[in-house]
Amino acid sequence: MHNDSGEGSRRRFLQSAAGLSGAVALQASARADDTPLPRLPVVKFGKADITRLIIGSNPFYGYSHFNRIFDEHMREFYTQDKKMEVLKSAERNGIHTWQLHYNDQPLADYLRYREEGGKMNIVLLADFELMKNPKIMPDVVAKMKPLGIGHHGNWTDNRFRAGEKGKVKEFCKMVRDTGVMVGVSAHNPAVFDVIESEDWDVDYFQTCLYRVSRTAEEARAELGEAPIGETYMEKDPERMCKMIRATRKPCLVFKVLGAGRSIGSPEEIEKAVRFAFANIKPTDPIIMGMYPRFTDQVKENTDLVRRILT
C-alpha cells in the first residue's frame, strides 16, 4: 500500500528529483580498502591536465535549478564537513578537477580543502562580488590559484541581450591581466558565435547544454508561450553541441542531465552522458554536480564516465 501522506509524497519527490532509487548512505571510499582508483581520462587545459569529468559546485550551495524546497534540502545536507567528504571521495574515485564559483563560503571551503591536503585543480566561475567588483580579481587569484576564471553565464547572457557585450570583453581583459586562463560561460550558443566571429582573446568556453536563460518574451517569440521557471527544451543540447564542435576552444560542458530532469533511471542518465561525450570534442570535459544523499553519486558518475571513455 502506498503512503500518500504529505511526508511520503515529499520523500518520493526528493528521491526522484535527485535521480535516485533507494536510500543508501554515501560510501566514504572508492573501494573497501580505501585505495584510490586511477585518475579518469584527462585533456589539456592550458598547461595543466584536467579530468574529463569535473565535479561542480551547485549542489554544495543549494542551487538545484528546480525549486526552493530542493535548494533548502541540498543546503541542509551540505555542511562544510560533508563537502570535504564528497570532495575527497571525488579524488579517490579519479576526479582531479573542481569547478566552483567565487563567494565567501566557497572561498572558505576551498581553503579548508587545501589545508586538509586536497589536490584537485580549480576552475573558477566568477559570481557575486567578483562580478560586481572585478578589481578584486588579483587578490582572488592569489588566494585560490585557479587554472582559469570564467565570466558568469547569466551575467553574460544578460549583458549580450542588453547590448553590453563590451562589459564582458573588459572583464575578460582583467582576467588576462592576472595571468590565468580566460573563460566565458553562457547558455545561448549565439553568444559564443559572436565571440568567435569577433575573435575575442578568450581561452575557453563554459557551455550550458540547455538555454535556461530565455526570457519569457524570448520563449513566447520562439515557442508561442512561456514556461513556468527555467526553459529546458529537448533540442537545446543539439544546438549547443553544434557550436561546441565548431570552435577550437576547449568547452567545459554543464547541465548534461538538465539539472536533474534526465535522471529517471540509470539508463536515462547513461543516455544523456553518452550523448554529451559523443557530440562534443575529444578535448572537452563535462561538469556534473553531485548530491550523494541517497546513493553514492560520486562513484556512480565516475564509474559511468570511466566505462564510456575507456
Confidence of residue 17 (pLDDT cuts 50, 70, 90): very low
Confidence of residue 127 (pLDDT cuts 50, 70, 90): confident
Residue 163 has a pLDDT of: 97
In a domain, residue 21? The reply is no
Measured distance CA(95)–CA(101) in Å, rounded: 18
Q: What separation in angstroms does the CA of 107 have from each of 8, 31, 47, 90, 118?
A: 37, 30, 24, 19, 14
CATH code of the domain covering residue 222: 3.20.20.60
Half-sphere exposure of 291 (CA within 13 A, CB side): 26
Identify the bridge partners of residue 286 per DSSP, sorted by sequence position. 53, 253
Number of domains in the chain: 1
Q: Which residues of 58-67 are buried (b: 16+ CB within 10 A; e: fewer)?
A: bbbbbbbbbe
In a domain, residue 126? The reply is yes
In a domain, residue 275? The reply is yes
In a domain, residue 295? The reply is yes
Domain membership of residue 273 as a residue range:
29-309
pLDDT in tens, 40-85: 999 999 999 999 999 999 999 999 999 999 999 999 999 999 999 9
In a domain, residue 160? The reply is yes
In a domain, residue 22? The reply is no
In a domain, residue 84? The reply is yes
Residue 33 has a pLDDT of: 53
pLDDT in tens, 148-180: 999 999 999 999 999 999 999 999 999 999 999
In a domain, residue 37? The reply is yes
Q: Say yes or no to pLDDT of 21 above 60.
A: no
